[in-house]
Structure 1
């Protein structure tokens, strides 16, 4: 049965790492729903957060393949109940839409905030799950969305050893 899984991959910072990671998914014909990369809490260690929809067997095979890649320190797979996650979305609409009080109501109802007001446009920010950011996009459509961008998932796990413990175990 297919489910949504979040894969966390901890790596050294090396050129081409993103390509080496994503090729493993491509070879298995798995579509990545979102991917984010950033530094982790450990200096010199980077974290890739990858969201995909697949079976438990497939994702476990991918984890095994990822851990064979040089410069990958550790990979984990989590179901949604095991993580706390958010995404950020930015919406750009024409400033004259503000003259109608309805835009402000929509922004407040969705717990979003205005980041910038320019002569020609305003930029609105919303953090939340993909369903929440998508719903706000749909509510803003009648006001003329000029641009829309959504980040990939950013996640931290609920139950997990500290990354530095795993790194110490690898060093031994």
Structure 2
């Protein structure tokens, strides 16, 4: 029987070095694992970056990959979590023709019901921003597709854990 695949959020705390992203993505590529989402940002500790990677794999595969990631010299620590152990969001932007905002009452309702926010409006287009779970972003995309979307972009997942993470203490020691 094949092991069950789960969606995992991987948090990798690193020094900010050129080429590390390529080496980390190569770890997944060698195993033919698709990265669903990838985000890099500053972490809570100055001078330390955080990669947030979402993959759908088995727990055994996940443990092996964490071991490989942690072998990278610049990696301080890597963790993996299931969805129920994290609080996560995605953000997206939609660019839509301006006349629709004024002529289509339904678009106004969609914006209101989805808790999307109008970022900018000019004579040619308006831009909507939506943050939420992937399902919410996908629903809004489906609803707006009917009217025509000029441009669409979505961020990778950003996430924090529900439980305290020992990394904060560890990173403080690393920084001192």
5+ residue gaps, structure 2, are none
Whether 1:135 and 2:139 are equivalent positions in the alignment is: yes
1:118 and 2:136 correspond: no
Q: Give the CA deviation at 1:141.
A: 1.0
Give CA-to-partner distance per residue, 1:58-108, whole Å, 9 cap, x none: 011000100101100000000001100000011111001012211110000
Shift of 1:161: 2.5
Equivalent residues, number: 171
* Cα deviation, residue 168, structure 1: 5.6
**Aligned alpha-carbon RMSD (Å):** 1.3
Q: Give the Å deviation of 1:169.
A: 6.6
Q: Secondary structure at the match of 1:131?
A: helix
Scaled by the length of structure 2, the TM-score of the pair is: 0.93
Query: 1: distance between equivalents of 2:165 and 2:128?
Result: 36
**Equivalent residues in 2 for 1:9-158, closer than 5 Å:** 9-98=12-101, 99-158=103-162
The 1:48/1:104 distance shift into structure 2, 3 A limit, reads: same
Output the CA distance in 2 between the equivalents of 1:70 and 1:3: 28
Aligned with 1:164 (options 159, 164, 168): 168
Contact 2:89 2:133 in 1 (8 A): yes
Distance 2:72 2:171 in 1: 16
1:143 partner SS: coil
